[in-house]
Amino acid sequence: MHFLYPAFFFALLSLAIPVLVHLFNFRRYQKVYFSNVQFLKQINEQQSSRRNLKERLILATRLLALAFLVLAFTRPFISGQNQQNAGTQHVVSIFVDNSYSMETLNREGSLLDEARLRAKEIASAYGINDRFQLLTQDFEGKHQRLVSRDEFNDAVDAVKISPQSRDLQQIINRQQSLLAIQPNALKSIYIISDFQKNISGGQQLETDSSTRINLVQLQASSLPNVAVDSVALLSAVHRPGESEKLIIRLHNYADAPAEKIPLKVTINGEQKALGSYTINARGVQTDTLIFSGLAPGWQRGEISLQDNPVTFDNQFYFSFNVKKQMPVLLIDDGTPNAFLKEVFAADPFFAATRVPAGNVDYAGLNAYPMIVLSDIRSVSPGIAQQLKTYVSKGGSLIVFPAKDADVNSYKALLQQLNSAYPEKIITENTKVSAINLKSAVFKNIFDSFPQNPDLPVVKKYYDLTSTGGIAENLLQLAGGKPFLAENANGKGKVYVSAVPLDDDFSNLQRHALFLPIMFRIALLSGHDQPLFYTLGHDESMEIPPIQTNEKQLLKLVKGNISIIPDVRQQEGSTLLYTSDELTESGTYDLRKQDSTLAVLAFNDNRSESDLSYYTKADLAKILPKNGSILQSGNASLKSIIAEENIGVQLWKLCIILALVFLAAEIVLVRYFKTAKVTTQQPVQTS
């Protein structure tokens, strides 16, 4: 047996008090006056041995009660596994999971309520001089310090649900980073969570051998849940009044089928589509919803599900821009190409801007979803480098070589784009023999494709050589040679024609296919903003270049929420960083002073939607040797942790024994009767 506060043994001197009282019995006799001695009829006599036994028993109970009371203050205990560190200050890091899954209800209320209670129980198991760190999914700077137990309890009460979702190893690393600067203390880590399977990839956890890790698993109820995982629009460019096809991906995270889940799509608060879906257990279903009637400008979209009782993922937000006109940049050698001019003049939606190759504004290239390079004899290294950056950012580039092209300059441009490039001119009367109808460019163009179509005739052409990138031939010559090649590069695409737009080479520019090909490539082009971002996952947002200064700051605004992001400029774009400031899902206006530059949509992390949990056996597999699992039940964690850190504490037993002996004293005083002898005395008369 050991004692936590042995100095309290000096209080045993107080045992002398009942002994002195016993030895010097200061009991005073009471005088009774009688008017006549004839009333003294009898005398009661007590045996001295019985009286002495009672007094000694009372003395013994008083001594034992006082002794056990003093012993309780010395905090006796039987050694535990950490007893060798008794008296050393503890530093304890406690992680409280406040992700969306902690909104799930159980018998104690919400899991977050139970997590708060367990955190306080853990803190109460330590001494008043020990120090604590609170950590949540938010990784807030104010939690990167050690506090007293009272401060810790106040901080726990302030914990709220967060959209963040961290990996288990990230959490442990964050806790250890603070504990590492406390070299002389006994370190302990506690992680209180429901332990969804998304919290770890199943890898063995890495921890410092000097730090003990404890996992406190809260028991969550198994609930059905369906959520929208993602959305996409088939068209990259959106025109006013035209039909839009929205692809939605629904995921059933439950082990039972989801029956007739209602879904609604609203754009700018106006209902555009409805649906009802039945999804198999653990199944994924994709559907396409069609709507139209959109006016020019930014569109704020919302998908709503009616899926109870899990509701935090019932909304999904997205945004896109319907443009009045689509800008197209035509770059030539100084002489306008009449065919390209006529093509884009045929539809007022396209706003074509022509510029000679020597006067290109490189900083403004990203404002054009599509660039057409035509009739340039030699491509300069400067424009080649800028076009490479443009394509990698998501732009579309169409190349029509000049009839007297410097093929080496084209090779230098197109090789770095991983695209086919022209080499020598082949003079041969041939024609286009095949159309790639599976390509997105030709999809839905033809109601029915004829068996013997009228295709472009070719007199001579450049032999296109592939650089080894992934190429797709949209149009193909007899013998399998490419006539119009498509290559992906970065986020953008490159289209290379084997002929210039010249009657001496082919009739492509006069053929009925030319206009739909150019329109389709234009409508599939564009480096538009992503439809949505994910809170806690997307660290940066890339937008077209915006010039700012100290007086013209960018702001993300939603209702009363206003956030100033960190702005960084890079080649061809602007990056926005919000750190952990953005915590609420929805659509935000990106503003520069009073002007709205864009609308950005943010959604919660859908990894929290999968309410599947680790078992105790699963957690044991990833725990290091210095780890343990504490499963919360109806009992308090305080006694379990105290036994681990100090041992079996006996002070409560001492208090109980002290009360028992006090009760025994009361019983002896009230009910222990000594034997009495009654003698008759004659009445004396005067």
Average pLDDT for 276-291: 93
Which is the CATH superfamily of the domain at 83-222+612-645?
von Willebrand factor, type A domain (3.40.50.410)
Q: Is the pLDDT of residue 363 over 70?
A: yes
Which pLDDT tens digit goes with each residue over 420-433?
Answer: 999 999 999 999 99
* Residue scoring higher pLDDT (460 or 546): 460
Which is the CATH superfamily of the domain at 326-523?
Class I glutamine amidotransferase (GATase) domain (3.40.50.880)
Interacting residues of 390 by C-beta distance below 8 A, sequence separation 6+: 365, 366, 371, 397, 492, 572
Which pLDDT tens digit goes with each residue over 632-686?
Answer: 666 678 777 766 665 667 778 889 988 998 898 888 888 776 655 544 445 544 4
> Which amino acid, 668?
L
Average pLDDT for 238-252: 92
Report residue 372's pLDDT band, with 50, 70 and 90 as the boundaries. Answer: very high
Given the candidates 1.10.1750.10, 3.30.1490.20, 2.60.40.10, 3.40.228.10, the CATH classification of the domain at 226-323 is: 2.60.40.10
What are the residues facing 575 on neighbouring strands?
542, 568
Q: Is the dihedral of CA 164, 167, 171, 174 positive or negative?
A: negative
Q: Is the pLDDT of residue 27 over 60?
A: no
Q: Is the pLDDT of residue 312 over 50?
A: yes
d(CA 378, CA 512): 30
* Residue scoring higher pLDDT (259 or 651): 259
Average pLDDT for 270-287: 93
d(CA 45, CA 43): 6
- Is the fold of 83-222+612-645 the same as that of 226-323? no
* Residue scoring higher pLDDT (54 or 574): 574
Closest C-alpha among 134, 53, 141, 44 to residue 98: 134
Give the mean pLDDT of the chain.
85
Which pLDDT tens digit goes with each residue over 57-83?
Answer: 888 888 888 888 888 888 777 765 554
Which pLDDT tens digit goes with each residue over 560-586?
Answer: 999 999 888 887 678 899 877 888 899
State the DSSP string of 610-669. Answer: ---B--HHHHHHHS-TTEEEEE--SS-HHHHHHHHHTEEE-HHHHHHHHHHHHHHHHHHH
Question: Domain limits of the chain?
Answer: 2-80+650-680, 83-222+612-645, 226-323, 326-523, 534-603
State the DSSP string of 236-264. Answer: SSB-TT--EEEEEEEEE-SSS-EEEEEEE
pLDDT at 550: 73
* 391 membership: H or E segment, kind and range: helix 381-392
Which pLDDT tens digit goes with each residue over 83-98?
Answer: 445 557 889 999 999 9
Average pLDDT for 257-280: 93
173-187, 289-303, 422-436, 545-559: least confident range: 545-559
d(CA 313, CA 304): 9
Which pLDDT tens digit goes with each residue over 141-199?
Answer: 888 899 999 999 999 999 999 888 888 999 999 999 998 888 888 889 999 999 998 88
Which pLDDT tens digit goes with each residue over 457-516?
Answer: 999 999 998 876 667 889 999 888 999 999 988 888 999 999 999 999 999 999 989 999
